[in-house]
Amino acid sequence: MQRIALILFIGCFFSFVSHVQGQAKLPGAKSAGAAKIHNQYCAKCHGERGKGDGPTTKTLKKMKMTDWTNKPIMAKFTDDDLFKIVSEGGKAVGKSNLMPGFKAKLKEKDIRGQVTYIRSFSQK
């Protein structure tokens, strides 16, 4: 009986450690919150993995979304650029006016979290 309890304890311990390590690897500040915001507002156009291949791109064929996984392209944007784009929209930095700003919907800390989350796509 003690042996079974020990095996269960060890199994639970490693399961917990694996779960915690998996959470630490998630991209972005407060990953679960950043991922939720991304999926709610960004993934429609930019895709779940940030490749610019969201379902909306089928109707916006003439518009090419930025591939956030492309390191050389993402290196051209400062964090301030990304903050301004997410906050005020693409037009604020000379990009597409189809990219809306989210400062009316998101708090500043959430926008900063999105900048970190966006950056994480090119860090993989």
- Give Cβ neighbours of residue 44 (< 8 Å, ≥ 6 apart): 54, 55, 56
* Residue range of the domain that includes 101: 29-121
Domain count, the chain: 1
Backbone φ/ψ region at 47: left (φ over 0), alpha (ψ -120 to 50), beta: left
Q: At what angle do helices 108-121 and 79-88 cross, to 10 degrees?
A: 120
Residue 1: pLDDT band (50, 70, 90) is low
In a domain? residue 54:
yes
In a domain? residue 6:
no
Instruction: Express each pLDDT in 58-107 by its tens digit.
Output: 887 777 889 999 999 999 999 999 999 999 999 999 988 889 999 999 99
The residue ranking higher by pLDDT, 4 or 6, is 4
In a domain? residue 23:
no
pTM: 0.72
- Give Cβ neighbours of residue 101 (< 8 Å, ≥ 6 apart): 85, 86, 87, 88, 89, 92
In a domain? residue 80:
yes
